[in-house]
Structure 1
Amino acid sequence: MSMSALGVSTGFMVGCCVLAQIARKVAGRLLKEGLVPVLVNEAIAAAELCACCFELIIIADNFGVAAYAVFLFILTVWWGKVWGDASACPYTHMEDLLEGKISLREVALRTWAELMGGCCVYRIVQVFWWFEFAETHKGRAFEECSADLQVHPYVGAVIEGIATLLCRLASKSLTETGPRFSSIIDSFIGTSLVVAAFNFSGGYFNPVLATALKWGCNGHTNLEHIIVYWIGACVGAVLSVPLFRVPIIRQYLIREDLVKKEN
């Protein structure tokens, strides 16, 4: 494939990030307080995430997993800097619920906002693909999608669950210890786990992302999709909350004696 096609994909993702950042700025000026701006920011983040990941599928299919990983790593670092409190991922709110930070109602509303943002943005992506600015987009706008699940659904759920658990434990330990370049380290860990699971479950580790990209695709039923990408990932994330409090795990993840000396 030509480099011009890669340039088109890169330009599309950059454009999505720029538009999302503008939308965040506008929302920040118009909506000052309350739950509404929180929901709007979650919807914007989810739309940005899913739009870019639709294009990452094109890159993975045509330029390989290595190119996909590089772009995903850069995007993840960027999102970590600009999203603020938004996560575009429902299980982070479930974790907050377990820790008593938010209510069940807010979890449901944030999840709804993320699903709306993530699923609705596909129409924009579809129109862009329909113009076929690059050879890699030919026929992609209206083709039937296929699932990334290459293993038994229960195995896929375990993979998504364990990888999500590891991602969340890593994020919690980095947040608590606060090393230099923690966001870059976190992005590297997450990207590495995505690549490791890529040929098995797709490595989504985010129910909203998986639903926006692969709901109803050939290769798994809707129930199997829920088992793998919702139950698997959410159980893994929720388990990270009590496991992170277990002394032996904390001792392994965090050298608390060093943290106290640094503080």
Structure 2
Amino acid sequence: MSMNALGVSTGLMVGWCVLAQIARKVAQRMIKEDGLIPTLVNEAIAAAELCACCFELIIIADNFGVAAYAVFLFILTVWWGQVWGDASACPYTHMEDLLEGKTTLREVALKSWAALMGGCCVYRFVQVIWWFEFAETHQGRAFEDCSADLQVHPYIGAAIEGIATMLCRLASKSLSEIGPRFGNVIDSFIGTSLVVAVYIFNYSMFLAFNFSGGYFNPVLATALKWGCRGHTNIEHIIVYWIGACVGAVLSVPVFKMEVVRRYLIGDQKGKRE
């Protein structure tokens, strides 16, 4: 594929990020009140930005390989960590907050709904851009039938998504508590690596990319792969919603285990003293 096609995909992702940032600024000016409404708007914008960019990342992965995909994903993740604020574009982070008593079930449901709407609705805009076929890699992509990434039994796929999500959340919690100078960059690197490259606890995360898609985010998986040929809707829910959410929720009690904390963050109390 030509470098022109890669340049078009890069420009589109930059454009989506710029538009999302403008939307955030406009929302801040228009919504003066504090409370749940601006939070829901930010969740929807973040999810739309995430999914729009990831649609283009699929183009890059299909045509330029996993290495190029990983580089772009890492850069985007660092950017999102800087501009999203309290938004996560991911339901299970709110479920974790519920488990820790930081939020209510109503807020979890509303935030998850806002993220899902933002992620799913943005596809229509992406579809229009692809319809213009600015690059050869977009030819025929706007209205083609999509195929599911799930290549294994749904329960195995759910286990893959769940274990990888739990590892990712444990890493994020550890970095948050330790507070390293470049914590966001490190967290982004770990998240990207879990999708595409590294071995953790003797388990290859390439399995996630090849056999389940390695989404680790129910909203992203639904926006990109809901209704695709290769799995039923129930199987999709089992793998990408139940699997990922259970893994994330389990990370809360697992992180509180003394042996896990000692392994991940060491003796922080002794260091402070």
TM superposition shift of 1:31: 1.5
**Per-residue Cα deviation, 1:70-111 (whole angstroms, up to 9, x for no partner):** 000000000000000000000000000001111000000001
Find the counterpart in structure 1 of residue 22 from structure 2.
Answer: 22
Find the counterpart in structure 1 of residue 84 from structure 2.
Answer: 83
1:198 aligns with 2:219: no
Distance in 2, matches of 1:44 and 1:124, equals 14
1:9 aligns with 2:20: no
Extract structure 1 runs of 4+ deviating beyond 2 A: 259-263
Equivalences for residues 196-235 of structure 1 within 5 A:
196=205, 197-235=208-246
Question: What SS does the corresponding residue of 1:140 show, helix, strand or coil?
Answer: coil
TM superposition shift of 1:30: 1.6
Distance in 2, matches of 1:200 and 1:104, equals 33
Find the counterpart in structure 1 of residue 271 from structure 2.
Answer: 261
Question: What SS does the corresponding residue of 1:199 show, helix, strand or coil?
Answer: helix
Structure 2's unaligned 5+ residue stretches are: 197-204
> What is the CA RMSD across the aligned residues, in angstroms?
0.9
Find the counterpart in structure 1 of residue 55 from structure 2.
Answer: 54
Distance in 2, matches of 1:26 and 1:44, equals 11
Distance in 2, matches of 1:131 and 1:162, equals 40
Distance in 2, matches of 1:260 and 1:177, equals 13
Aligned length: 262
Find the counterpart in structure 1 of residue 42 from structure 2.
Answer: 41
Q: Which moved more, 1:180-189 or 1:7-16?
A: 180-189
TM-score, length-normalised on structure 2? 0.94
Structure 1's unaligned 5+ residue stretches are: none
Amino acid at match of 1:188: F
Distance in 1, matches of 2:133 and 2:19, equals 21
Distance in 1, matches of 2:244 and 2:210, equals 17
1:120 aligns with 2:130: no
State, as a whole percentage, how many aligned pairs show the same letter. Answer: 83
TM superposition shift of 1:48: 0.1
TM-score, length-normalised on structure 1? 0.98
TM superposition shift of 1:256: 2.3
